[in-house]
């Protein structure tokens, strides 16, 4: 059991714990922001491509369901 507990504790010195957690949080936030912007760009591209089709957005139920 002690061998398992050895791997479950914080690996670095406790003095660095706050700084490491802040850096990890900032890195995750940055990564999520990039992915969210990429998804938003794809959604805008899809919106534009559907809107420019003949008949517009509300011609077919599938197009309407996207919105």
**Total domains in the fold of the chain:** 1
Distance CA 36, CA 30 (A): 10
Answer whether residue 7 is part of any domain.
no
Residue 6 within a domain: no
Q: State pLDDT tens for residues 19-36.
A: 888 998 999 999 999 999
CA distance 39 to 45: 10
The answer to whether position 46 is within a domain reads yes
Which structural domain, as residue segments, surrounds residue 48?
A: 14-66
Is residue 22 in a domain?
Answer: yes
Per the domain annotation, does 35 fall within a domain? yes
pTM: 0.66
Residues of the chain under the 50 pLDDT cut: none
């Amino acid at each position: 059991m002690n061998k398992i507990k050895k791997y479950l504790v914080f690996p670095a010195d406790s003095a660095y714990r706050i700084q490491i957690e802040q850096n990890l949080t900032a890195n995750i936030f940055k990564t999520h922001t990039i992915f969210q912007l990429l998804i938003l760009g794809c959604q805008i591209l899809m919106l534009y491509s559907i809107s420019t089709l003949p008949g517009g957005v509300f011609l077919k139920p599938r197009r309407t369901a996207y919105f």
